[in-house]
Amino acid sequence: MNELWYLIRTITWASVIDILLVTVVFFLILVLIQGTRAVQVLRGVILIVLLVLVLTSIASLPAFTWLLQRSVPALLLAIPIIFQPELRRAFERLGQAGSLFRGFREEREGLFIGSIVQACQRLSERRHGALIVLERETGLQEYVDTGTLLDARLTRQLVETVFYPSTELHDGAVIIREGRVIAAACVMPLSAGKIHGGDRHMGLRHRAGLGVSEVSDAIAIVVSEETGQIAIAHNGRMIRRLDSTRLETILRAFYQPQLRRGWLGWLPRSKGRSGTPSRREG
């Protein structure tokens, strides 16, 4: 009790601020990696650190301690490589913190979401494959440059025409920016995730949808040419077997809150979602 009382008396305002800053840094790191594959890696690292602490406290292990001392610099160099996707997203979000000074943005009408839903429903009924990518905070200009520039107002008829099998623009992705079809026939990056047993039958459209959602905060809508099923890829995860009602609900949940948050837009959202995230082809 005397030691505890001594520690309490030594606490100053500077100490409190110091502790709060460290807490905020760790909190932001945990929030940034929440829902990503980095969580499993971090758990493994913590487990190893705890195991090492237990082993070194039980007995004197000079050779093991020497090995750890030599390995720490290599581990520090490996961290940016292992967590490269998460670090990229974190820096992108920090770079978007300029919206802090713009205040809350006015809510935009979500009419174009209705057009997307109607187009996807018609494409699904006809089994016309499609890949529609909704740009959000992370710019997709590098992928826009790979396609054909349109810069046209989004309508159901335009989307259906682009993905009609006889057209030259149907093979590739349509990128939508602020309610306008910016480009068509765009080449998207394929998913870098490990493909498991049931996923080996995943088509290129689904892999491209997952891929662009892994490297950005974009929302990708995929219509299967074989089954006509509609799926959404977001943050490296895929929700499948969607009807028009669920598609509209999920789009409004994923897309519109990003528009409303304004100066909070650079912070990641809660991971509560409608539907069941899956990577397995139905």
- CATH number, domain containing residue 217: 3.40.1700.10
Locate 20 and state its tokens. Answer: 């709060």
* Beta partners for residue 222, in sequence order: 131, 231
CA gap 157, 166 in Å, rounded: 15
Domain boundary among 101, 134, 155: 101
* Number of independent structural domains in the chain: 2
pLDDT at 159: 94
Same-domain pairing of 252 and 123:
yes
Same-domain pairing of 206 and 264:
yes
* C-beta separation of 130 from 160 below 8 A: no
Same-domain pairing of 49 and 122:
no
Same-domain pairing of 56 and 119:
no
* C-beta separation of 238 from 231 below 8 A: yes
Prediction pTM value? 0.58
Q: Considering Cα of 78, then 84, then 90, then 94, what sign does the dihedral take?
A: positive
CA gap 10, 15 in Å, rounded: 9
Residue 149's domain comprises 111-278
Q: 3-state class of 68 per DSSP?
A: helix
pLDDT at 34: 64
The mean pLDDT of 16-27, rounded to a whole number, is: 88
Residue 224 or 1, more confident: 224
If we measure between CA atoms, which residue out of 223, 228, 274 comes closest to residue 248? 274
Same-domain pairing of 7 and 136:
no
Which amino acid is present at 69? Q
Same-domain pairing of 138 and 224:
yes
The mean pLDDT of 185-207, rounded to a whole number, is: 75
Of the ranges 69-78, 162-171, 196-205, which one carries the lowest mean pLDDT score? 196-205
pLDDT in tens, 216-274: 889 999 999 999 999 999 988 899 999 999 999 998 888 754 444 443 444 444 333 33
Domain boundary among 56, 75, 101: 101
DSSP code for 73: H
Chain-centroid distance of CA 5 in Å reads 47
Same-domain pairing of 118 and 34:
no
CA gap 146, 181 in Å, rounded: 14
pLDDT level of residue 30 (50, 70, 90 thresholds): confident
Same-domain pairing of 151 and 11:
no
Measured in degrees and rounded to the nearest 5, phi and psi for residue 205 equal: -65, -45
User: Mean pLDDT highest for which of 13-22, 151-160, 187-196, 271-280?
Assistant: 151-160
Same-domain pairing of 122 and 91:
no
pLDDT level of residue 178 (50, 70, 90 thresholds): confident
**pLDDT reading at 173 higher than 50:** yes
The mean pLDDT of 93-116, rounded to a whole number, is: 57
Same-domain pairing of 238 and 138:
yes
Does some domain include residue 106?
Answer: no
Same-domain pairing of 79 and 153:
no
Locate 15 and state its tokens. Answer: 């100490």
